[in-house]
Amino acid sequence: MPDRFFITGTDTGVGKTVASALLCAALDAYYWKPIQTGTRKGSDTKTVLRLAGIPREHAFAEAYTFAPPVSPHLAARLAGVRIDLRRIQLPRDTNRHSLIVEGAGGVLVPVNGTLLMVDLMKQLALPVLLVARTSLGTINHTLLSLAALRAAKLDVLGVIMAGKENRENRKAIEKYGGVRVAGWIPHLRKIDRAALVRVYERRFDAKVFAA
């Protein structure tokens, strides 16, 4: 079966979308963002298609989209709807293709009045990759996120770090988090398919993503 991964993060704006685009480019994967907020400024699907250089038919439609750039539960409430996880099922025919699924916000962001993003991860039952910053504070945020993922009995494949290289933070996350750092995405002046594939080849542990 082709590889399929759920991309989550320690926070919003941490680099999940760039990491998703990188994996789509490097693994020739399809992309799916089940819940999208902030569509006033565009969508992560359009960003991934552009950065990864993949065709539009390699992305699946979102289950829910909302205009305000706020938490899914609030965006849904403002729209007068409730996000129903039963409506969010893996797209058909994904067994034939590698697939990158990107969450919204962090691990414990609420999606409705009772459920969190981690509940969507449990429902989809995909191996999880956690995107974390390299900067000050990342150790605490990453360890807390890992604890939440493990409490939910999810399969955590590894951490992807994004930002200026920080070897001490990387070592601390691996030691205290009991996890491998599967890759590092440095600051890129230009982000396109070629640049992302180069980062994967140079900065990622391909064994983590092997079929």
Radius of gyration, alpha carbons of the chain: 16
- Going by C-alpha positions, the residue among 103, 104, 141, 94 that lies closest to residue 6 is 103
Token readout for 154 is 């999810």
Token readout for 5 is 């991964």
**Exposed/middle/buried for residue 203 (C-beta within 10 Å: 0-12, 13-18, 19+):** middle
SS3 149: helix
DSSP states of 24-45: HHHHT-EEE-SEE--GGG--HH
Task: Please identify which of the residues 33, 153, 175, 190 carries the catalytic annotation.
Answer: 33
Asked whether 78 and 68 are in contact (CB, 8 A), the reply is: yes
Strand order in the sheet with 128-133: 59-60, 30-32, 99-106, 4-9, 128-133, 156-162, 181-185
Q: In whole angstroms, give the CA distance from residue 148 to residue 204.
A: 24
- Check if 33 is active-site: yes
Please give the positions annotated as active site: 33
